[in-house]
Amino acid sequence: MNEEQKPYIEIDGVQLNVDDLPAEGQAIFGRLQRLNQKKANMTLDLEEIQASINFFSSRIVELVNNEGAEESEVDIEETDAFPPEED
């Protein structure tokens, strides 16, 4: 038998089903569910933000460490703007 699990919340190690609560408790239960979902979404957002901060910080370090190196390594003849001279 595939029994659908009823919504519940765990408080102090005790699972409380929404149907076992009085009307006011059910309203609070719904609010707790929404808040827990918001918390989960914010956690994911913070992880994405931290990953972006790490990427951009690393990119700045890379740019500073390689400053001027790219310009000196470029051979003008290798660019499309300056094709190799013909003999």
Paired tokens of 62: 């890379």
pLDDT band with cut points at 50, 70 and 90 for residue 20: confident
Q: What percent of the chain has pLDDT above 70?
A: 74
Place 62 in a pLDDT band, splitting at 50, 70 and 90.
very high
pLDDT class of 41 with cuts at 50, 70, 90: very high
Radius of gyration of the CA atoms of the chain, in A: 30
Give the separation between CA 76 and CA 72, rounded to whole angstroms.
Answer: 10
Q: What's residue 23's pLDDT?
A: 92
Place 87 in a pLDDT band, splitting at 50, 70 and 90: low
For residues 52 and 60, what is the distance between their CA atoms, to the nearest angstrom? 12
pLDDT of 31: 93
> Domain residues of the chain, as ranges?
8-67
d(CA 8, CA 40): 17
| For residues 9-26, average pLDDT | 88
